[in-house]
Each structure stands twice: as structure tokens, then as C-alpha cells.
């Protein structure tokens, strides 16, 4: 029976890289894959998955209204889909996560979803909350705080490098806007303390 997998992490942990490696692995075995990423996250170009290590691939850009079950099943009727891979899964709606679960349960297509667990305030994203609730498999990918602990949180910073405490949940950006930190250093920064540096942490 196929499964719904959720690989979650803070930013800059290698989620997109791992997705692209998994996709390559399926394809080099001769299996047909479908890649999705959030339309609103266009850092690598619209409908493109890009990793900081330089890998990239074209993907289908999902909107809040996209029926992922219908899109994959339409392709599956044409050519057997061996695996569906979704980047920026935090931006899925709960209903879209249920559509991914249906792909595993009704069509026996494995689904690998990669995304953030929490936002810049430490609150769950809708897609992540639903994935944490119903995925068959949960795997945390690791990145490192400057202090050496596991970085589980995402601090949003302004142009001056100061912590941002208020704002919309969605704000697209990369290493210029977000810093992955351990919970202790995230909390200190949110309380007005300095950001850790490797030498001082
Ligand atoms: N030139 C490089 N060589 C090796 N690793 C790199 C390079 N550039 C960035 N990385 C690593 O790639 C990871 C970020 O990968 P990425 O897939 O973009 O992350 P995510 O999707 O989780 O935000 C980080 O661990 C970073 O240290
Ligand atoms: C924490 C947080 C992140 N985002 C956005 C910023 C990026 O565009 C993506 C995550 O990128 P990754 O490197 O692929 O992990 O999510 C956001 O909109 N709101 C947030 O609170
Ligand atoms: Zn730390």
C-alpha cells in the first residue's frame, strides 16, 4: 500500500535538495514522477523547484484551488505515475493534503511532501498541521543553529537583521529574510536579544 510521507524542517535544511534527489532516484529506475511546488513561491521562477546547492527542476505550480488528486489522476490515466513529490507543502490547504492522502489510498501512488513545520512566529502552517495529523510517515530533516544545536525554528528578519514579530504568515524570501535557529536562540531573538553567531553562541 502506498504511503503519504512528510519530510519537514526549518528553512535551509536541504528539503528541496532531498526532494530532487528522490525524484532523480525514481526516474533513474524508469518510473514516471510528478513534481509540484507552490505558485506563490517563485524564488526559482514560476513553477520551478530550486535548491541552494544548485539543483533544480520544472514542477507544476499549485494554487489554493488546485485539485491535486484530479491533476495527478488525469496524468495517471495517460501514463502510470510512480510517485508524486510536493515542495513547499506548508502552503497546501488541509483539503489538498487530504487529496494527497487519497492518491496514496485510492490510486496506490506514493506521495512525498516536503515543507516547513512552523512559521516566523512558531505557529503551524495549515498544510503542515494536516500533514502532521495524517501522514503515514514523518521525518525531520536537520539543519544547524550557529550554536550547534538543531535549528527547528525560522526567524524572520528585516533589512537591518532585526527580528520581525508581526506580519502576514506568508512572505516569500530566502536567507536574506529568514534565519534558522534552535528554539532557545529563536526565543531570545524574539524577546529582543541579539542573534547568535558561531563564535559567541
Ligand atoms: N555549494 C553548496 N554545497 C553544499 N551544500 C550547500 C551548498 N550551498 C548550500 N548548501 C546547503 O544546502 C542546504 C539548503 O538546501 P535547500 O534544498 O535549498 O534547503 P531547503 O529547501 O530546506 O530550504 C543547506 O544545508 C546548505 O548548507
Ligand atoms: C518561516 C516562513 C517562511 N515563509 C516562506 C519563505 C520561503 O519562501 C518559504 C520556505 O522556503 P524553503 O527555503 O524552501 O524552506 O516559505 C513564509 O512565507 N512565512 C514564514 O513564516
Ligand atoms: Zn542556537
pLDDT in the model for residue 197: 80
Checking if the pLDDT of 99 tops 90, the result is yes
Checking if the pLDDT of 201 tops 80, the result is no
The catalytic residue positions are 88
d(CA 111, CA 101): 8
Range 30-59 average pLDDT: 96
Checking if the pLDDT of 119 tops 70, the result is yes
Establish whether residue 51 lines the binding site of ligand 1, counting it when its CB lies within 6 angstroms of any ligand atom.
yes
* ipTM (interface predicted TM): 0.98
Res. 12 pLDDT band, cuts 50 70 90: very high
d(CA 139, CA 31): 23
**Cα–ligand 1 centroid distance for 13 (angstroms):** 7
How many beta carbons lie within 10 A of that of residue 127, not counting itself?
A: 24
Checking if the pLDDT of 198 tops 80, the result is no
**Cα–ligand 2 centroid distance for 90 (angstroms):** 9
Between 57 and 196, residue with greater pLDDT: 57
Checking if the pLDDT of 200 tops 90, the result is no
Cell (9 digits) for 26: 525514481
Alpha-carbon 74 to chain mean position = 24
Find the residues whose C-beta lies inside 6 A of ligand 2. Answer: 11-12, 15-16, 41, 43, 88, 116, 119-120, 154, 156, 169-173, 178
Question: To 10 degrees, the CA torsion angle through 30, 34, 35, 39?
Answer: 160
Domains and CATH numbers, the chain: 4-141 (3.40.50.300), 150-200 (3.30.60)
Checking if the pLDDT of 16 tops 80, the result is yes
Q: Which ligand is nearest to the CA of 37?
A: 2
pLDDT in the model for residue 83: 98
Amino acid at each position: 500500500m502506498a504511503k503519504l510521507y512528510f519530510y519537514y524542517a526549518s528553512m535551509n535544511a536541504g528539503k528541496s535538495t532531498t526532494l530532487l534527489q528522490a525524484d532523480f532516484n525514481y526516474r533513474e529506475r524508469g518510473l514516471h514522477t510528478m513534481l509540484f511546488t507552490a505558485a506563490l513561491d517563485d524564488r526559482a521562477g514560476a513553477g520551478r523547484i530550486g535548491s541552494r546547492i544548485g539543483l533544480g527542476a520544472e514542477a507544476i505550480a499549485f494554487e489554493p484551488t488546485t485539485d491535486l488528486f484530479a491533476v495527478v489522476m488525469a496524468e495517471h490515466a495517460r501514463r502510470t505515475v510512480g510517485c508524486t513529490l510536493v515542495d513547499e507543502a506548508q502552503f497546501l490547504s488541509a483539503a489538498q493534503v487530504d487529496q494527497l492522502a487519497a492518491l496514496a489510498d485510492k490510486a496506490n501512488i506514493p506521495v512525498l511532501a516536503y515543507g516547513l513545520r512552523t512559521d516566523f512566529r512558531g505557529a503551524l502552517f495549515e498544510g503542515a498541521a494536516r500533514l502532521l495529523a495524517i501522514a503515514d510517515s514523518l521525518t525531520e530533516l536537520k539543519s544547524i543553529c550557529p550554536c550547534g544545536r538543531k535549528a527547528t525554528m525560522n526567524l524572520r528578519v528585516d533589512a537591518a537583521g532585526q527580528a520581525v514579530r508581526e506580519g502576514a504568515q506568508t512572505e516569500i524570501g530566502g536567507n536574506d529574510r529568514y534565519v534558522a535557529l534552535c528554539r532557545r536562540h529563536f526565543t531570545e531573538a524574539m524577546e529582543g536579544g541579539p542573534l547568535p553567531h558561531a563564535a559567541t553562541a
